[in-house]
Amino acid sequence: MKPWRRRFMLASLLLASVCVVAADSRSDAARTRLMKDIAHDFVATARMTGVREMSPAVAEAMAGVPRHRFVPAGGQAAAYANRPLTIGHGQTISQPFIVALMTELAGVSPGDRVLEVGTGSGYQAAVLAALGARVYTVEIIEPLGRHAAALLAELGYEDVEVRIGDGNAGWPEAAPFDAIVVTAGGDLPEALVEQLAVGGRLVIPLDAARGEQELTLIEKHADGSVTQRDVLPVRFVPLVGGGD
């Protein structure tokens, strides 16, 4: 190989390495800003939610899951912005603060069995799995479900199982669940309450008056009764299925 060609190849490799390092640095800085934004939102909404800050476990999970991998190519520049982004098929990847809040409200611990209704991009499932949960997630839109399943497997989230189907029915054969997280708004599916374990928590955006939604925490008690608490006004895509 001629010396000039060798020098050109080495220079090209060096430039590529510099570009990768620069991209990684930008990504790290964006993640740091996002975590600060999420922390600010917890403080700002604490009077309503009752949750002032992220637990160390949830903070670690949120910081560790690569959100840019769950965002379509056209949205990469905003991957670490604290806002929802479209993922196609009329669906969105939720605002990171809302993902963190729902995860905190679900009270997930390592080894828990968690049901997610509305896989979407797979981002919320990845955060739940990063906490050490065994995650069962249902997506009614087949292309989204297939893509999420492949991506989660590629990224090494082995404790996530994806099903294409109607999430209103839950996942009966895997029940009961220590936590259930619903990432679409509507009425409360009775099947999900039935599949919630005693002491379990269900986090769901429920339809409220005047077309609004309220993020709601539902807990099941030893006598089989349930209590629910309104947490925060939210806006999610509609929960489809259940005969819709």
Given a contact cutoff of 8 angstroms between Cβ atoms, the answer to whether 181 and 114 are in contact is yes
As a whole number of angstroms, the distance between CA 101 and CA 71 comes to 20
Given a contact cutoff of 8 angstroms between Cβ atoms, the answer to whether 165 and 137 are in contact is no
Q: Name residue 115's amino acid.
A: L
94 is catalytic: yes
- Please tell me which residue in 94, 109, 121, 225 is annotated as part of the active site: 94
Angle, CA of 50, 122 and 62, to the nearest 5°: 45
Q: Which residues, 6+ apart, have CB-to-CB distance to 42 below 8 Å?
A: 49, 51, 52, 53, 54, 97, 100, 101
Distance (Å) of CA 125 to CA 17, 65, 120, 132? 32, 10, 9, 11
Residue 133 half-sphere exposure toward CB, CA atoms < 13 A: 29
Positions annotated as catalytic residues are 94
